[in-house]
Structure 1
């Protein structure tokens, strides 16, 4: 099967993946925005201080299933797509990279730039950090996304290699 066909077949899965992760991230922020403290700009982290023991515990309890989904769902998709075609390393890499990049772009454009930087709902504003410059720091999120994309590309390469071991 051509790689371009697999790319387009993976798009609905990428959309579902992105939707589930986006909702999960918003629900975790609703539970306690401090869970995401490590992802805030430096000026906000400095003013807010260290993450509380309660938020750290919540991050571990609720973040673990999200991370498991984040890593597991793409392999479910690969298993499903492999039922219709024998997948090459390159095809697996493209499928994984498509899924991870879809979420990374959604995270940057919607979660970070639209919601966090532009709309700034109180949900994301940590107590004592209201009005800080970091809440408008679009570049911070851009460079975080670039770094994340490099990591996701490496994870996609590694994942494709692992998938080849199990075919």
Structure 2
């Protein structure tokens, strides 16, 4: 006769073996993800970008080494729809669809810290003065100057 303890051990091993080989969903089926457009509508190339699973952050710097939060576009990571345009109106209306990869890229700690600072600043109430959007207008002016120089060089 088989002891009850041996029966429990046998049952536990059989169940764990089945759990190890049981199907876990459609992992072989490709799903749709979204990527940053390679350029903004003004022709500036992608700089820093990230995807936290909810928001796709795409930076389009006017010059090398520029702060990634000067000119950027935020897209929905699940639909590709433009969420916010901080690129002077030059953000493409949607992010292109791609096939999802199996690994999620991690953002650098420096970038995470900068993004938290920017998000906190954006969430803070802004004074309603004529100078409230001065920084944005100055940054947009810098980008317009870069476009003028580029257009002059192409002419």
TM-score where L is the length of structure 2? 0.23
- Compare the two structures and name the one with the higher strand fraction: 2
TM-score where L is the length of structure 1? 0.22
- Compare the two structures and name the one with the higher helix fraction: 1
> Larger radius of gyration, structure 1 or 2?
2
